[in-house]
Every structure is written in structure tokens, then in C-alpha cells.
Structure 1
Amino acid sequence: MKKSLLALALMGAFSGAALAQSSVTVYGVVDMGVQRDDNGLSTNGTKYSLDSGNQSGSRLGFKGTEDLGNGLKANFVLEMGILADTGASDQKGLGFGRQAYVGLAGDFGAVNFGRQKSLTYVASESIDPFGVGLAGNMNRLFSTVTRVDNAAIYSTPNMSGFSAAALYSFGEQAGNNSALSIGSLSGTYSAGPVFASIVYEKAKDAQSPAVTIANTGEKTLIGGSYDFGMAKAHAAYELLKGGQSGTTVALTKKNVWMIGATVPVGAGAILADYTRITDTVTSNANATQFALGYTYNLSKRTNLYTSYSQTKNDTQSAYNAGGKGLTDKLFNAGIRHAF
């Protein structure tokens, strides 16, 4: 009997030690707000709605690490998007549409495999004063692939504020291994009040319907921010060279830039940005966006928000609007809770 008790105690001790080497965290965001979108049409152009994910996409996620010894760790993330207004899955119904990857990390950096954020999106999250959310989301005019399937990403360790990353997304086309593939490189500096990043991305086979027109061809993004204490300044520039369905990649060339600011005010912050896109191929196809927002922290995990943006289109452009030459006006107000 004593031997049995001793054996059980030893098994419990070893089990506890094994469990101490790994951990799993459940996390998420629930974001809900009222939104008014006027896409510029004189009839049936204004929509009022109760929408999920105005500031941050509502989500439920699981992430974990396992210590493999000698500084090596295994890690994974499974993150599903949720339309909290209806309870349905976001990202067109994908089970874990936000992220789904597994990888290794150590002194060499980290390498992950699966559905992941693109390098341009990772940079945009830090550059944009609106955090690529709310009505001022700079990606309403910038062209950013949010997530990439079948992706392998290598990230270097932080070296005195400098880091780099490389992404390759497999096109998975039989007989042509480069077809529909995406390659990307980034370099980042983040230390003290300074954040700066440059990203280059190239998508193959711009004419394919499997890749949307806005995200094809070549893309170079340069941007950053500087925190002065009383306010943070933001700026970004993007050069787009892309194609349209049935044509060559060289047909489209656009310049996009943004300037913005974040001004802390008590427990909240005022957000503002001005964004402009210029089409160098098509005449009168430019657009500008001005946005203003405010967030107020009720606690470390819960905040209120409101924002407004206005997108003005030239006669041959229709960004965010219901037709060419129209002006889109977007307003929202809501609450976000993270857990």
C-alpha cells in the first residue's frame, strides 16, 4: 500500500513538472458599436447598423508555448473571428480565420507555419493612429493583405531595437510552384519613442481571380511614429504596382500616404489622420480621407470609442463609396472589452 502511494506521489510530481513546462492561454475581444455609413448615393445610400469589430475584430483565441529545453520553445496560435452581432464566424465563415499557426522560437528567432498576419499588416498596426480600426483605418485607402494562407514566416530576434522578417506563402498550384505565391521582407526599428518599418511584398500572377486586384503586384510600405509625450506623430507612404484582371501587372501604379496624430487626454486619446491616394495611370482617379476619433478607457480591458471619417473621390474613383465621384461618410460609436 505504501509502495502504491509512493508511486502515485512520484507520478504526480513528474506530471506536475511536465505541465510546468507548457502553458495555454485563452483570450479574446468583444467589440460592438452602432454605425452609420453614407456611401454617397442619393437613394438607398445610408445604412444604420449594429456592427461587431469596429475598433478591433471580435475574436476568441488559444495560444500556448512548450519549453523544449536549451532555450528552444514550441508555440501555437488558433484564433477565430466572431461576428458578435449575430454569433456567426467572421473571415467568411472560417473556423480559425484570424490566425492558425505552429512554430519554434529560440535564440535564432522564430519560425511559424500556417495562416498568419501579413508583414504589411503587422507594420500597419503599429503605424496607424487608429490601429487599423475604426472609421480612420488607413487601410481604407492603403492596400494591405490582412492575412496570408499557407505561410512560412521567419523573424529575427530583437537586436538593439532592430528586427527583420521574411514571409513566403505557397501558391500550391500543381505544375507551377511559384503561381499565386506571395513573398515579403520587412525591417523594423522600435526603441524608446521611435518606431519605423519598411516592408516589400510581391504577389505572383496578378490576373488570377484567387488574388484580389487591390492586393496584387508589388507593394512597398514605409512608415513609423514618434512619441513626443504630449502627442504621437504618425506617417506612412505606400507605392503600389499592380495589375487588373486580364491585363499585365504594370497597368496600375499608385502612391498612398498618411499623416496622423494621437493625443492623450486624461484616460482617453484623440485620434486623427489624413490619407491620400494618387493614381499615376488613370486620370481623375484620386481620393482623400480625413478621420477623427476618440477612445476612453473605463479600465485596462474595457474602453468606449467613437470615430468619423469622410472619403472624397475624384470623378473616376470610388473608394469606400457607392460609385465614382461620390463621398463616403462613416460614423461609429461603441464599446470594446478584451479578456
Structure 2
Amino acid sequence: MLASVAGASYAQSSVTMYGVVDLGLKIENAGSGRVVGIDSGNQSVSRIGFKGTEDLGNGLKANFVLEAGFNADNGSQSDATRFFNRQSYVSLSGGFGEVKLGRVQTMVFTNSSVFDPFADTLAGDSVRIFNYGGSRIDNTVNYSFAAQNGINGQAAYSFGEVAGSTSSGRTVAGAIGYASGPIAAVLTYQNTNNATATDSTKTTLIGGNYNFGLLQPFIAYAVNKGFGTLDTRDSLIGLKVNLTAADTIMASYMHKSDKAISNANANQIALGYTHNLSTRTNLYTSWARLSNDDNAAYRVTAAGKNDNLFNVGIRHKF
């Protein structure tokens, strides 16, 4: 028994350093005049990361991810308050799935590629209209699994860490999905309490896509309720045109419907194109126009304004 323990403790581990540098020209008018400049992270947030795996035997593995975002156009951290601002977790994985502890992706963000042809990137990014509840969340226990029959799922609990209360600032989330052959679908739910546990924000989203080969249509619908008078509906229809292994066209239309505030809806139409120069490097361009009703102010400087966004650039992964 002692020999087996010693053998496990000296099991070989692997550590990988990786990253993304994404820079491009960005032209945007969010209601206060056109801004032209070089922007970092149009398609993917520029980042540097470290990940590792140790084989513990019997199918069990220990894993970790530490990932820091940065602004490649000026060299600064993308979050000045923390270095590993993207993901920072340790996990155990095996035949049962994976259990993560730390800062991880939120439930809607994790599944964005299932329902969004832009997969949370470029000017068509669904987060410009949809309520993601953020892209990362702290102090989380996350369990995920993927079964051989195509069913996959997640459950997460994020501690609010408020003295004297286990419910203040707490987030509970879950997802169930199916991915097999050309079809992928997901149903997600996230419930976040405020700092005093007197109110909460709830988002329920269902979406999916079907890959016909050349054409790949997407659809999504979400219900958002909570904090104060929040009562909105988000909808999306989209399409990817897989021209070649290297060339992809994306398009989407999104609509935000506000049930609590009159004349506060929003719409966005977007187009995008990517071309792979290699397995690590690609070119991209995209355009979006987001139109707000008189009482809506999504992605703009004042209510009723429109946002016009264009970018073109290059992304390199290492």
C-alpha cells in the first residue's frame, strides 16, 4: 500500500503556458461621435495562461487553470484589481465528471457557442443584448459532466461570503444540454442574490444550433427577472456559413423586449467574417448596428442613441 501511495505521489504532471494576442482597428460611434483606434480583444480577449494536469491513477486527475487578461494595445492589465482575472481554479476530474473550485465561467457564458453564431466574440457578441450575469464568477464550486449519449450538464454554487448570511450575494446556477452529431442545444438557469438577500436576478435561457454543413442556423430565447423592475426578454436568430475549413461568415439579429419599462426595447443586426491563415492565426472583420428605443441605453452614451461598431484585425494563439 505504501509503495502504491509513493508511486502516485511521484506521478508525472504536465504544465502548459498558452495565450492569445488579438489586435485590430476599431471604429465605433456610441452616440457621442466616432472613435477610431487600435483595440485589443475584438475576437478573443488577449491573455496569458497556465494550465496543468497530474494523473493520480485510476482515471482520476488533478487540474488547474490560471489565466490573466491584458490589453495588447498598451500592455496594461485588463483588470487592474486582480492579475488572474479570467479563470483561477483547481479541479479533480474522472469518470464522474469534473469538480472545480475557484473563479470560473458563468453558466450562460460557458454555453454561448451553442446558441450564438459569433460565440461571444466580435461585433455580433450576444452579450451586447443578452443578460449573461457576467462572464466569470468568484468563490464557486462547479460540477460538470458529459455523458456518452450526448447529454451534458453543469451545476454551480457561488458563495457570497457575507458575514452572518449564507444567502447574501449568493449565486446558484445550472445547465443541461445535448450535443451529438449536427445538433447542439442547451437550457441554462442562473439566480444571483443581492448583497442583502432581499432581491435576486434570474436568467433562464434556451438555445441551440443545427449544423447542415455549409449552413448552421442558431436560435436562442431568454427571460430575465429580478432586481427592482427588471423584466426583459432576449431573442436571437443567427447563421454561420461554413464556406471552407478556413472561411466562415456569421450573421445574427437580436431583440431585447422590456416588459417593465415602456419604449425601452433594443435591436441589433450584425455581420462577421473570419479567415484562418493557420491553426493558430486568423484574420477577422465584423460590423454591428444596435438601435435603442427612446428609453433604452444599451451600449450607448445616452438613452435613445444607436451604436455602430466596425472592426478588422488579426488574432494569434500560442
Instruction: State TM-score, norm by structure 2.
Output: 0.93
Pair 1:237 & 2:226 matched: no
Look up the equivalent residue of 2:224 and give its one-letter code: L
Bigger proportion of residues as helix: 1
* Higher mean displacement: 158-167 or 284-293: 158-167
Q: CA deviation at 1:243?
A: 1.3
SS at match of 1:255: strand
Distance in 2 of aligned mates of 1:100 and 1:201: 20
User: What is the aligned residue count?
Assistant: 309
Pair 1:258 & 2:266 matched: no
Alignment of 1:116-265 (within 5 A): 116-144=104-132, 145-205=134-194, 217-244=201-228, 251-265=229-243
Q: For residue 294 of structure 2, what is the aligned residue in structure 1?
A: 315
Pick from 38, 48, 53 the counterpart of residue 36 of structure 2.
Answer: 48
Q: CA deviation at 1:91?
A: 3.0
Distance in 1 of aligned mates of 2:81 and 2:119: 24
Over the residues paired in the alignment, what is the CA RMSD in angstroms? 1.8
Asked whether the equivalents of residues 101 and 112 of structure 1 are also in contact (C-alpha less than 8 Å), the reply is yes
- Cα deviation, 1:151-197, whole Å, max 9, x if unaligned, reads 11011242311011100100000001110010001001111111100
Distance in 1 of aligned mates of 2:144 and 2:243: 35
Distance in 2 of aligned mates of 1:237 and 1:148: 23
- Cα deviation, 1:284-305, whole Å, max 9, x if unaligned, reads 0000000001111111110000
Look up the equivalent residue of 1:38 and give its one-letter code: N
Pair 1:276 & 2:255 matched: yes
Q: CA deviation at 1:125?
A: 3.0
Asked whether the equivalents of residues 31 and 300 of structure 2 are also in contact (C-alpha less than 8 Å), the reply is yes
Q: Which runs of 5+ in 2 are unaligned?
A: 1-5
- Cα deviation, 1:249-300, whole Å, max 9, x if unaligned, reads xx21100000101102232111100000000110000000000011111111
Q: For residue 87 of structure 2, what is the aligned residue in structure 1?
A: 99
Distance in 2 of aligned mates of 1:206 and 1:292: 39
Q: For residue 301 of structure 1, what is the aligned residue in structure 2?
A: 280
Q: For residue 333 of structure 1, what is the aligned residue in structure 2?
A: 312
Q: CA deviation at 1:26?
A: 1.1
Asked whether the equivalents of residues 179 and 205 of structure 1 are also in contact (C-alpha less than 8 Å), the reply is yes
Q: For residue 97 of structure 2, what is the aligned residue in structure 1?
A: 109
Distance in 2 of aligned mates of 1:254 and 1:25: 42
Q: Between the two proteins, what is the percent identity of the paired residues? A: 46
Asked whether the equivalents of residues 255 and 266 of structure 2 are also in contact (C-alpha less than 8 Å), the reply is yes
Q: For residue 4 of structure 1, what is the aligned residue in structure 2?
A: none
Q: For residue 63 of structure 1, what is the aligned residue in structure 2?
A: 51
Distance in 2 of aligned mates of 1:73 and 1:156: 14
Q: CA deviation at 1:124?
A: 1.1
Bigger proportion of residues as strand: 2
Look up the equivalent residue of 1:222 and give its one-letter code: I
Look up the equivalent residue of 2:209 and give its one-letter code: S
Distance in 1 of aligned mates of 2:97 and 2:243: 38
Q: For residue 81 of structure 1, what is the aligned residue in structure 2?
A: 69
Q: CA deviation at 1:40?
A: 2.2
Look up the equivalent residue of 1:257 and give its one-letter code: S
Distance in 2 of aligned mates of 1:50 and 1:260: 28
Q: Which runs of 5+ in 1 are unaligned?
A: 1-13, 245-250
Q: Which has the larger radius of gyration?
A: 1
Q: CA deviation at 1:93?
A: 4.2
Q: CA deviation at 1:84?
A: 0.6
Instruction: State TM-score, norm by structure 1.
Output: 0.88
Q: CA deviation at 1:206?
A: 6.9
Distance in 2 of aligned mates of 1:233 and 1:204: 35
Distance in 2 of aligned mates of 1:206 and 1:325: 31
